[in-house]
Chains A and B, each alone.
Chain A
Amino acid sequence: MSGSKCRVCKEPAIIDLPRHNANFCAEHLLQLCRRQVEKAIKDHDMLAPDDRVLVAVSGGKDSLAVWDILVDLGYHADGLYVGLGIGEYSDTSYEHTQAFAAERGLSLQVIDLRAEYGYDVPTAAKVTRRVPCSACGLSKRHLFDRAALDGGYDVVVTGHNLDDEAAVLFGNTLRWDVEYLSRQYPVLPARHGFPKKVKPLMRLTEREMAAWCIVRGIDYQVEECPMAIGNKHLAYKDALNAIERQSPGSKASFYLEFVDKMAPILADRSQAATGDLHRCAICGSPTTGDECAFCRLRERVGGHDPVPVELVLHGKARRAYLAGRQGAEG
């Protein structure tokens, strides 16, 4: 069988991690992941031991892994899942999330956009004529913020990993978007009625998170959101992975050295950028206008008949989606 041995215990390895120039067995892969999360939490004051933590879960590998790791490390962490109404993708994402929570006896709160607010992501995209991710991101941010404050949580955890953050950094750097660069930090402190938000997976790659789930027997949503196919974020990730293949460790140094060296230099700029905030006339959330962006979106798109996913997909994403459905039927 395989020749490679675990760096720690010399038993047969199950994974090679070129950026650590080493191989690991299942047990020591898990140990490495736990330690990286502990280091992120400690270095950036992400969580206190008795914090009440709300994890934003999607049913994908990263959010289920971060929930699993935090519970494993002894944190009190509940989950919140938002039903986005993106066809079969959302249905199976919900099933994975629900099964994960039930098997472990964890507390999961569910908010369904269509049932509770009268719209879903494809419909919002069609009516506003904007990309689906725009209405989706806005809705998720608002609902996680609200649920955290209403539920008395100290902090919201998201599953953003090293690859996600490196890809965002790459995009911001290609445009030298100083405003976005100054805000790209793994911790967002609580402010003006917004909860504290943290990214404990900032030191772990996507490949490591998928491996965590496989080793831990977590059955997650492997299929991609149909809206994401062909987007820029994926193109940046591919570019970074091509560099990583040639020069292991590049992604980690690109992002982690940014956080250490550049973020402090840029921090002054982001403080200056906080505008005048007051309460939304409808929901009471902090906003710069009379009504918050979520309430404006809801008023505009709520109550429309549901729009099927394929009607808001274009180009490569549409072809991939239709091919996938044919495969599933045939």
Chain B
Amino acid sequence: MLVRLRQPKREVTIDGARTVNQLLDELDMNRESFLVIRNGTLVPGDGRLDDDDTIEIRPVVSGG
């Protein structure tokens, strides 16, 4: 799947289907600090991501 990251903007490709929580754990990203979006819609922690998905992992923490 194609994963879009922010702050700053960048992209990585990850092979194989997995859940949102599995993906965040693998990337060492705290579930409390991110949301996962697919086609403009939020995907919950146990939501399944497929190999041909394009998703965004959006950080929600701001420091202002």
Chain A residues proximal to chain B, CB less than 8 Å: 1-4, 13-16, 18, 23, 26, 58, 60-62, 163, 205-207, 209-211, 214-215, 217, 222-225, 228-229, 231, 233-234, 237-238, 241-242, 244-245, 320, 323-324, 327-328
What's the nearest-Cβ distance from chain A to residue B40, in Å?
8
Say whether, besides A214-B37, A244-B32, A2 and B44 are in contact (CB < 8 Å): yes
Say yes or no: A61 contacts B61, CB within 8 Å.
Answer: no
Query: How many Å lie between the Cα of A14 and that of B42 in the bound state?
Result: 5
Q: A-B contact count, CB below 8 Å?
A: 104
CA distance A4 to B61 in the complex (A): 25
Give the residues from 3 to 61 in chain B that come closer than 8 angstroms, CB to CB, to chain A. Answer: 6-10, 30-35, 37, 40-48, 58-61
Q: Is the CB of B62 within 8 A of A215?
A: no
Whether A234 touches B63, Cβ cut-off 8 Å, given contacts A4-B44, A222-B6, A328-B8, is: yes
- Within 8 Å by CB of B32, from A14, A228, A229, A241, lies A241
Q: A207-B35, A245-B32 are in contact. Are A14 and B6 (CB under 8 A)?
A: no
Name the CB-closest residue of A to B47.
A2
Which are the 10 A-B pairs with shortest beta-carbon distances? A228-B63, A324-B8, A2-B47, A210-B60, A234-B63, A14-B42, A16-B45, A241-B32, A206-B60, A16-B44
> B residues within 8 A CB of A214?
35, 37, 40-42, 58
Question: Smallest distance from the beta carbon of A301 to chain B beta carbons, Å?
Answer: 21
Residue total for B at the interface (Cβ-Cβ under 8 A): 28
B residues in contact (CB < 8 Å) with A: 6-10, 30-35, 37, 40-48, 58-64
By a CB distance below 8 angstroms, the chain B residues around A323 are 8
- In the complex, what's the smallest C-beta–C-beta distance from A92 to chain B, in angstroms? 12
User: CA–CA, A18 to B59, complex, Å?
Assistant: 17
Using Cβ atoms and an 8 Å threshold, which residues of chain A touch B7? 222-224, 324
Minimum CB–CB distance for B35 against chain A, Å:
6
Contact call A60/B61, Cβ cutoff below 8 A: no
Q: Which residues of A contact B40 (CB under 8 A)?
A: 214, 217
Contacts of B9 in A (CB 8 A): 223, 324, 327-328
B20 to chain A, nearest CB (A): 9
CA distance A100 to B46 in the complex (A): 32
Q: By the criterion CB–CB under 8 Å, are B64 and A228 in contact?
A: yes
- B45 near A62: Cβ-Cβ < 8 Å: no
Residues in A with CB closer than 8 Å to B46 are: 2-4, 16
A120 to chain B, nearest CB (A): 16
Chain B contacts for A328, CB-based, 8 A: 8-9
Beta-carbon contact of A215 and B47 below 8 Å: no
| B62 and A2 contact, CB distance less than 8 A | no
Shortest A133–chain B CB gap in Å is 8
Residues of A within 8 A of B41 (CB): 14, 214
